[in-house]
Amino acid sequence: MVERSLTAGPFHWLGLLAVAFSALAADQLTKQIVVTQLALGESVHVVGPFWIRHVNNPGIAFGLFSSWASAVTFLTAGAVVWMLFYFAKSGARHPILPVALGLLIGGSMGNLVDRLRIGHVTDFLDLKYWPAFNLADMFIVVGVAALLLALVAAERQPRMKRTPSGRPAPKTLA
């Protein structure tokens, strides 16, 4: 029996890079629009509880660890490198992996670019009852959710019965 390689092939890498660069570009474009159109702290009501509000966030989610900006930057960069190594070894494991990791990498890179370029992250999506966030944050959350769903789906798939030697058991008519 031939084992299938889990190593990411060119098609997997193309998918990952397309998603990651699209997420990074969308994030950086929307942040640039907010920075050029709204003064810091300025808001524009969109609909219902949804506002666009220009906010600077030196920390991570909810403004946590704002005094640890350097550590957050290094951890983010390390996480991106780890995700790329993981993808290289396991990119063919599941069809959703290029999209999920592409969103995670693109979102992480979007916020990392802000930290390196201007020393903080620009947030602008404000629901009034939740701290402001940005597209990169959304991409990260959706990427994590997609990974979790893929893991749950993989665990629910029926496994082929194997004999003690490790070979698949012959099919029986029942």
Marked catalytic residue, from 27, 114, 123, 126 = 123
In terms of C-beta density within 10 A (0-12 exposed, 13-18 middle, 19 or more buried), how is residue 18 classed? middle
The strand pair at 121-126 and 43-47 is best described as unpaired
Tokens at residue 22, please? 């699209």
**pTM higher than 0.85, yes or no?**
no
Residue with tokens 């003690």: 164
Catalytic residue among 27, 114, 126, 137: 137
Residue 72's pLDDT band, with cuts at 50, 70 and 90, is confident
Active-site residue 137, yes or no? yes
pLDDT of 122-166, one tens digit each?
999 999 898 899 999 999 999 999 989 887 876 776 655 656 666
* Tokens of residue 41, six digits: 């702290």
Alpha-carbon radius of gyration of the chain: 21
pLDDT digits (tens, 9 = 90+) for 88-107: 887 667 788 899 999 999 99
